[in-house]
Amino acid sequence: MKRDIRLLLADVDGTLVTQEKLLTEAAKEAAHDLRDAGIVLAITSGRPPRGMSMLIEPLALEGAIAGFNGGVFVNPDLSVIESHRVDPAIAGQALKLILDQGLDAWVYTDEEWLIRDPAAAHVAREAWTVKFDARVVTSFTDANLAQTVKIVGVSDDLDRVAACEKAVQRTLGEKASAARSQPYYLDVTNPQANKGVVVTALSTLLNIPTRQIATIGDMPNDVLMFRRSGFSIAMGNASDEVKAQANVVTESNENEGFAKAVRSFLLAPAAT
């Protein structure tokens, strides 16, 4: 008996792509094998939808794509299905908390990526990853915050990022979703924009019960989708805390973990 899975929801960075942000031939082949087996592949990421456009054709994606951790759902042609912005007052609070904790801050709107310092940590790398440049502003205005889909706190002091995550969660509670998408990134979005909600949204859009949805990821914000799906896979490069929340663990993203998970856990007969 094979597992009764009709949809695989995959994280992107640290999961689908390598550390160099490359999509391997094995990953592409696994995506096509899923399609041949009648299993839909969907992707979700903290990236903006534009920052995932280079994956659509190689993976032959046909369904909704969840950018900003579910802040915006788009079709493969990048037309918007629905969007969940951060309340402007909450955005202002989150921004202050991030800056007060000593992190740099980025603001994403539906259409733009706003930064204050083009030479700041991870800006150049992020621009290379998402394939578009940020707009530099002297400060984030009320007009910017009124359009905010995601705020990112950035620092190479990983303990500081982890502490800031807890501070934002404690202060804003259910008014926002705050979780690390990378050890050096803290993503703050609308409370309805998190990867757990992505599972239930895709379940509704595609009329697939959550028990027939598998999820795969590597970071703490992926645990939210693990909890809502019928079967969950942690990457080998995930922390022990994340691995403990998944049903199974695959290899790392540097050792074809995504492709191996597809073949071992979804296309092969399930273990007794």
- Interatomic CA distance for residues 190 and 174, integer angstroms: 9
Q: Residue 260's pLDDT is what?
A: 97
Q: Residue 110's pLDDT is what?
A: 81
Q: Residue 159's pLDDT is what?
A: 97
Q: Residue 271's pLDDT is what?
A: 46
Residue 105: both structure tokens together? 């801050």
Residue carrying structure tokens 């009764």? 4
Residue by residue, what is the 3-state secondary structure of 37-61? CCCEEEEECCCCHHHHHHHHHHHCC
For residue 214, what is the enclosing H or E element? Answer: strand 213-217
Can you name the CATH fold of 88-189? 3.30.1240
Please answer whether residues 164 and 153 qualify as being in contact, where contact means their C-beta atoms are separated by less than 8 angstroms: yes
Q: Residue 268's pLDDT is what?
A: 81
- Given a cut of 50, the residues of the chain with pLDDT beneath it are 1, 271-272
Domain boundaries, the chain: 7-83+193-267, 88-189
**Chain segment 217-247, per-residue pLDDT in tens:** 999 999 999 999 999 999 999 999 999 999 9
**Chain segment 42-69, per-residue pLDDT in tens:** 999 989 999 999 999 999 998 889 999 9
Q: Do domains 7-83+193-267 and 88-189 have the same CATH topology?
A: no
Q: What is the DSSP letter of 86?
A: P
The amino acid that residue 242 corresponds to is V
Q: Which CATH number fits domain 7-83+193-267: 3.40.30.10, 3.90.1150.10, 3.40.50.1000, 1.10.3210.10?
A: 3.40.50.1000
Residue 27: both structure tokens together? 């990953």
Q: Residue 2's pLDDT is what?
A: 60
Q: What is the DSSP letter of 246?
A: S
Q: Is 181 exposed, middle or buried (0-12, 13-18, 19+ CB in 10 A)?
A: buried
Residue 9: both structure tokens together? 């929801």
Residue carrying structure tokens 């899923």? 34
